[in-house]
């Protein structure tokens, strides 16, 4: 394990933002993590736990220690007639694990195909797509407490998952490194095809009998058709969360903007797609120097190359102000600012 200095982080974030880390280390084992956390040379400095860098906005050079999590490998840890439990290292690429499960015919993750990033970061914001969130296949995780070096187990209840939320964005923020996650998959699938364009895509693909591989293929197809590939254009997926607003506020907006789309959340709360709000506020496809708003998906801010984190941050603030002014809705960032 070697700690490098002044490391360029551009290859380690999907926005492809240039920023340097004062110290940078890749860890492959729990022992290496313990050792770096105890190393007296790196105490009392800021730490950034890094997975695939696909939900980060680097706004400046990082004057601390970046710990890149590379704990690899996954294995079946339990099995019964209905379910199979798989424990995966935090550094495993999320989509690789999903593809393994799809190929083995273990159901539950197929709607979450092609989400970038690592297994260890997935519980942070309870990743979700196409009607499924990881909380639905989550069993437990192990994390090391940075202050004490103790390993703790978090079950589903302790994680307190919500829409793009978990304990790791609140009380436990910055206090733990997730080491591994155990998922509970199903041997008998329940198919979730009600969301968005999945059904139409399956029909176009000529699928008459549902199976998890077909759903995964459909999700991959839809995602590739609207989300920019970070290997071609820098981005971090949805920049903001879809706002959840009081139903009364939604009804008033609907009277003013009859085409506003919505999803019911509860008796009293309605979710509105931020992409629609941003598009209606006139931002979709707008480019400002090296950064801009994606032409096919207004919720995705992009770096065309050479853009700075500060430029993206400034653009996001302008978007927030204009959506607030037009609709009276405060957008909050999904992306983590560093």
Task: Name the site residues for ligand EPU (rule: CB under 6 A).
Answer: 129-130, 196, 226, 237-238, 241-242, 261, 273, 275-276, 279, 284, 297-299, 334
How many residues interact with ligand FAD (rule CB under 6 A)?
32
CA atoms within 13 A of residue 100's CA, in its CB half-sphere = 16
Q: 235-261 burial string, b = 16+ CB within 10 Å, else e? A: bbbbbbbbbbbeeebbeebeeeeeebe
- Choice between 18 and 334, CB closer to ligand EPU: 334
Q: What is the token pair recorded at 275?
A: 């992409």
**Of the two residues 64 and 162, which places its CB atom closer to ligand EPU in the complex?**
162
By CB under 6 A, name the one of 124, 202, 277, 323 that touches ligand FAD. Answer: 124
209 has catalytic annotation: no
Contact status, residue 234 vs residue 16, Cβ threshold 8 Å: yes
122's contact among ligand FAD, ligand EPU, none, with CB below 5 to 8 A by partner kind, is ligand FAD
Q: Is 121 in the site for ligand FAD (CB under 6 A)?
A: yes
Per DSSP, the residues of 260-319 read ---EE-SSSEEE--HHHHHHHTT-TT-EETTEEE-SS-TT-EEE-SS--HHHHHHHHHHH
Is residue 236 within 8 A of residue 56, CB to CB? The reply is yes
Asked about 47 being catalytic, the answer comes back as no
Residue 117 touches which of ligand EPU, ligand FAD, none (CB < 5 to 8 A by kind)? ligand FAD
110 part of the active site: no
234 binds ligand FAD (CB under 6 A): no
DSSP annotation of 119:
T
Decide which of ligand FAD, ligand EPU, none touches 235; Cβ closer than 5 to 8 Å per partner kind: ligand FAD
54 contact choice in ligand EPU, ligand FAD, none (CB below 5 to 8 Å, kind-dependent): ligand FAD
The answer to whether 278 and 238 are in contact (CB under 8 A) is no
């Amino acid at each position: 394990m070697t700690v490098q200095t002044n490391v360029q982080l551009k290859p380690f974030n999907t926005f492809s933002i240039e920023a340097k880390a004062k110290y940078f280390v890749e860890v492959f084992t729990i022992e290496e993590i313990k050792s770096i956390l105890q190393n007296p040379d790196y105490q009392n400095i800021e730490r950034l736990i890094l997975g695939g860098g696909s939900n980060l906005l680097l706004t400046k050079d990082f004057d601390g220690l970046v710990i890149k999590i590379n704990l690899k490998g996954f294995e079946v840890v339990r099995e019964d007639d209905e379910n199979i439990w798989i424990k995966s290292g935090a550094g495993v690429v999320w989509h690789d694990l999903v593809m393994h499960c799809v190929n083995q015919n273990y159901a539950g993750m197929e709607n979450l195909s092609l989400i970038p990033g690592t297994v260890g970061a997935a519980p942070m914001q309870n990743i979700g797509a196409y009607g499924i969130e990881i909380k639905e296949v989550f069993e437990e995780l192990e994390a090391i407490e940075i202050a004490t070096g103790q390993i703790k187990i978090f079950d589903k209840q302790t994680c307190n998952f919500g829409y793009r939320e978990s304990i790791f964005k609140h009380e436990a923020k910055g206090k733990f490194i997730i080491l591994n996650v155990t998922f509970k998959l199903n041997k008998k699938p329940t198919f979730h095809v009600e969301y968005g364009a999945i059904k139409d895509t399956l029909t176009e693909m000529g699928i008459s009998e549902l199976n998890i591989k077909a759903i995964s293929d459909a999700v991959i197809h839809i995602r590739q058709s609207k989300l920019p590939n970070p290997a071609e254009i820098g981005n971090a997926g949805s920049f903001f969360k879809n706002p959840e607003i009081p139903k009364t506020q939604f009804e008033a907006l609907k009277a003013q903007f009859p085409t506003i789309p919505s999803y019911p959340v509860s008796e009293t709360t309605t979710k509105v797609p931020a992409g629609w709000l941003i598009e209606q506020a006139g931002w979709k496809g707008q480019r400002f120097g090296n950064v801009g708003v994606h032409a096919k998906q207004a919720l995705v801010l992009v770096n065309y190359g050479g853009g700075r984190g500060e430029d993206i941050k400034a653009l996001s603030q302008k978007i927030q102000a204009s959506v607030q002014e037009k609709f009276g809705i405060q957008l909050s960032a999904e992306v983590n600012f560093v």
